[in-house]
Chains A and B, each alone.
Chain A
Amino acid sequence: MNDLNIPGDKDPVKIVRGFDDIDKSGIILIIIGAWLLIKVAERFFPWLAERFPARFRFYILPLVPILRFIIVIGAVVLIIPEIIHPKLENLIAILGALGLAIGFAFKDYISSLIAGFVAVYEHPYRPGDWVRIGDAYGEVKALEARSIRMLTLDDNLVTIPHQKIWDSAVFNANNARRELMCIADFYLYPKHDAAAVRQKLVEVALTSPYLQLSRPVIVIVAEKPWYTQYRLKAYPVEGRDQLLFTSDLTIRGKAALGKMGVEPATGVFPPPGTEEESNS
């Protein structure tokens, strides 16, 4: 009969220590210590990144989620032996049960955590990047364990779980560079000197105080049924100025083209007030 008895240390009830046997103060200290370390890392690395040249920012800031992950894992590894009897069989039993529970209840949460870890290495986005995920476009402000926080151009803070990278395209506008391409569109009545307009638009970009002069200025011209489209592509010095830069290009572009006597496309052809209109 003794052979059929389950030994005491393999009794499932005995896998977990008794409540009185658990070192509760030790666990609390580990949790507080881990929390403090995470907070220090969250403040120290951004502070450090601000003080290093900008090119180092994208290497320093991603260290925060990695450290946070390591600290959490370390804390869990330290706490587990305080709660269960640290034997291989016990660990397998606990992890199996946890896996089952997580598989059903926290599937998405764990998927996001794993995706977050992958994102740290694959760099689909980094703090400071300008990205579009789904309908949201903005600057990545923080990489959390489960999600990213993104500040949109309309000043909305959007939280997006990392698991989006499994099945969605991530459009990264600057990919760890400070500057990103901006496009100002001009739609003009087709009867004009296209070469002169193109040259003038290049000059509009070259004389913008926002312009990053080390990057190229490009003007793409496309003839459409009712208008000629010009796409003025250039990079601002600071990616955060993208709306101001595009506005500056648009305002000064309109003024420059107006002085050249080039008419914008109005939807009414020929445009009112032109010589052709009076002839027709």
Chain B
Amino acid sequence: MSESEGSERDNDLWRYIPIGEYAKPELPASDLLKDQMQPVWQYIKNTRFLKNVIDWLLRQWRQPHGNSKSDSAQSKNLVQLLPELLDRVTPKPHWKAASKAMHQMLRDWAADGVENERKEGRMRWQRIVLDPPFCGTREIMEHLAAEQGWPIVEAPSPEDILNGGKEWVSDVASKEGSPLVIPCLERCYLRHYNGLSLIQELIDWLITSNRHCLIGCGSWAWAYFKAALNLGPLFPQPYILDALSGKDLKKWLALPLRGAEEERLVFRRSNNDRKILLSMNNGEVDENSRDSESVDNAFFETLAAYSLGNPGVARAVWRKLLRVAAEESGRDADAGASEGEERTIWVSPLSEQDLPGLPPTRARSQFFVLHTILLHGSLPPEVLREVLSISTIDVLETLHHLHHSGLLEIDMDLLEWKIASAGYPAIRRELDRAGYLADQT
């Protein structure tokens, strides 16, 4: 199946909505209780005696209720998928359908929105689209601008920003074409005492110039701009990619499985053997098969809530949960499958999975580094040191710890540090708990 066909099928997954309408997916009630009990369970796990007692009781309970099926996950030694198979079942998102959704959202505005709004007495020349981490908004915006021939504004360098950036702003003002696309407003400032002048100059120009501008902005940076520069009342309500629900995620994660006619993939939960996802037949989810009655949908509700409805985070977590039986691990991803053969991929429980989490030390410098990187999207170590006013050794040591914990990774295109997608929910939760400003998603 071609990419374009695929993107048409998932068109209805992507919706850009005003931020005021945005709602995060909620945890199912059973998981909510489990979530509340997490500290107690953690305490029990840390107390060896209590843990042994609970384990013994669970063993006693499980023995008579145990699953006797020979292919159950308990009877197998499960291992992680080989990279080839992992990439085949969870390929990188191409964002084509999301790009169409953005174009749809912008179509009226880009064509005659300004005229209409002028008639209505609301001079709204800008359209702001927030970019939560890993939602691909920047890439989508750049792709759309290239497709439509809209001029794109390149982000200024850190030196430009620290020197006030007057020249950069006048370069932007002299650009021709409409609408002008500024895909990453979060890269137009630095959280440094000399790093706010450029963004203030740019905002002054945006407000007074009456230029038609499409602006992409990191959701964390927008929260900072609203709090520090009081940008909220100056601009129209931003738009944002709607959070994916459990149902949306199930559909989206099943998309790459279409066309695998020679091999039927079945995804089962490793703790109860229940099916949660079946490969598609002829491009449709195999919902009507006789197996579909036993398909467990609650898993995706939990995944959607844990990943905050964020597709990039959900995909990263999903990849970390997938397992195969050890004896099948060596089997080639593409070879060796005969027609109609069924292959089981086991999905570890979300709560038990060893997803990245903050080191128990919770050092102040860790919060500083994580928060600063989120505010700027990504940063090289030397700029991080300049922004935080801490020593290079402290910065490097903290980066090393966070990288080791799976919370940070290097953006190989920019050679800058960025947040690792699977660690994002834990980072956001801990920063929020510690009282740091968080985005609205």
Contact = CB atoms under 8 A, between A and B. Distances in A.
A200 B389 contact: no
Contact of A209 (B39, B43, B191, B195): B191
A256 interface: yes
B150 interface: no
A78 interface: no
Interface string B357-387: 0000000100010011000000000000001
A35 to B, nearest CB: 23
A255 B371 CA distance: 23
A235 to B, nearest CB: 10
A85 B194 CA distance: 80
Contacts of B195: 207
Contact of A237 (B43, B193, B389, B435): B435
A224 interface: no
B39 A51 contact: yes
A53 interface: yes
Interface in A32-72: 47, 51, 53-54
B364 A179 contact: no
Contact of B436 (A54, A204, A237): A237
Interface residues of B, number: 24
Contacts of A237: 434-436
Say what secondary structure dominates the interface of chain B: helix
A14 B434 CA distance: 63
B196 A203 contact: yes
Nearest to A241: B364
A200 B193 contact: yes
B414 interface: no
A213 B435 CA distance: 9
Interface string B293-330: 00000000000000000000000000000000000000
A209 B433 contact: no
Interface in B216-241: 224, 227-228
A207 B436 contact: no
Given A178-B435, A214-B227, A248-B389, A209 B368 contact: yes
Nearest to B39: A51
B422 to A, nearest CB: 24
B193 A207 contact: yes
A213 B40 CA distance: 32
B405 to A, nearest CB: 20
Contacts of B434: 237-238
A185 to B, nearest CB: 17
The 10 closest A-B pairs by CB, nearest first: A51-B39, A213-B227, A213-B437, A256-B193, A209-B368, A206-B228, A237-B435, A207-B191, A204-B193, A207-B193
25 contacts: A47-B43, A51-B40, A51-B43, A54-B435, A200-B193, A204-B193, A206-B196, A206-B228, A207-B191, A207-B192, A207-B193, A207-B195, A209-B191, A213-B224, A213-B437, A214-B227, A237-B434, A237-B436, A238-B364, A238-B434, A241-B364, A248-B389, A251-B389, A256-B193, A256-B194
Given A213-B227, A241-B364, 4 more contacts: A206-B196, A207-B191, A213-B228, A251-B389
